[in-house]
Amino acid sequence: MFNLNYYKENLTTDIFGQSIQYYPDLDSTNTKSWESISENMENGTVVITDNQTAGRGRQSNTWISIPGKSLTFSIILYPNALPNQINLYSLFAGLAITDCLIENNIQARLKWPNDIIINKKKVGGILCESKISGGLIKSMVIGIGLNVNENITELQKEFHPNATSLQIESGKQYQLEVLLASILNHLEYRIKNKDTKSQLSDWEKRCAHLKQEVTFSSGNEIVNGVFNGLSSTGQAIITINNEELTFDSGEIVEIDD
């Protein structure tokens, strides 16, 4: 059961998370968020559930979570931003999550565009969805899933073997409401911060595969190349056969150790 007092005691934002919708069970916090947008829900509203039964990941993947042991939530935004800014929001969300984890002495890394990695295993993911009208992103939902208090037996039963949780990595239990508040505090700061160049530099410093050979899936094509960093709008810059290319979307499916 979500403890609103723990959450509010740790929330320092002006907007993000000041309005919160909690559901014990929900199919998808992103789906519910879009329903709330149609009802004119206010900017920065958080939708969270203890038990997400049909979570969505990128590229039609599913996000499996164990009830009461993970963070599964979405944030509603009305950014009025240019469409080429969409990648930045996913990257800023990744930075905010790693900001929170670093505060908790957990050295997490980032995999483009939306994965949180600890010791080469996935601990969290981000799904950023938007709707464009009049040439601007008018509404956006940032969905976040983070494995927190799962033990190794639970993860091996339900997840890919390359998954992990904060508890597995640190040996500690975490208060979900406190982590949620911390992520929102950092996310509001990251999104309000207009120094995009500095933030992209922060992201690259935390990247798990900068200057490394990667296998990259884009559409129906799988290619190998070197990940050389980010463009000014958060695109992946990958050198393939001595040619530097930029990608708006895609997925890094393998990192060369």
CATH number at 44 reads 3.30.930.10
In a shared domain, residues 130 and 237:
no
Q: Which amino acid is at 156?
A: Q
On whether both 22 and 143 belong to a single domain, the answer is yes
Integer Cα distance of 66 and 156 in angstroms: 12
Neighbours of 68 (CB within 10 A): 13
Domain co-membership, 49 together with 171: yes
Task: Find where tokens 């595969």 sit.
Answer: 209
- On whether both 84 and 61 belong to a single domain, the answer is yes
114 and 221 fall within a common domain = no
Separation CA 102–CA 105 (nearest Å): 5
Cis ω for the linkage preceding 113 (within 30 of 0): yes
Residues 94 and 177 in one domain: yes
42 burial level (CB within 10 Å; 0-12, 13-18, 19+): exposed
Query: Which ranges of 80-219 does DSSP label H, i.e. alpha helix?
Result: 86-103, 152-158, 166-170, 176-192, 196-206
Kindly state whether residues 74 and 161 are assigned to the same domain: yes
Together in a domain, 87 and 23:
yes
CA distance 135 to 89: 17
For the chain, 257 residues long, give each residue's pLDDT as a single digit of tens. Answer: 889 999 999 999 999 999 999 999 999 999 999 999 988 899 999 999 999 887 665 545 566 678 889 999 999 999 999 999 999 999 999 999 999 999 999 999 999 999 999 999 999 999 999 999 999 999 999 999 999 999 988 886 666 678 999 999 999 999 999 999 999 999 999 999 999 999 999 999 999 999 999 999 988 889 999 999 999 999 999 999 999 999 999 989 888 76
Residues 134 and 64 in one domain: yes
Longest Cα–Cα distance in the chain: 55
Are 241 and 171 found together in one domain?
Answer: no
CA angle 129, 189, 106 (to 5 degrees): 85
Domain that includes residue 233, residue range = 213-255
Rg (CA), the chain: 17
Number of structural domains found in the chain: 2
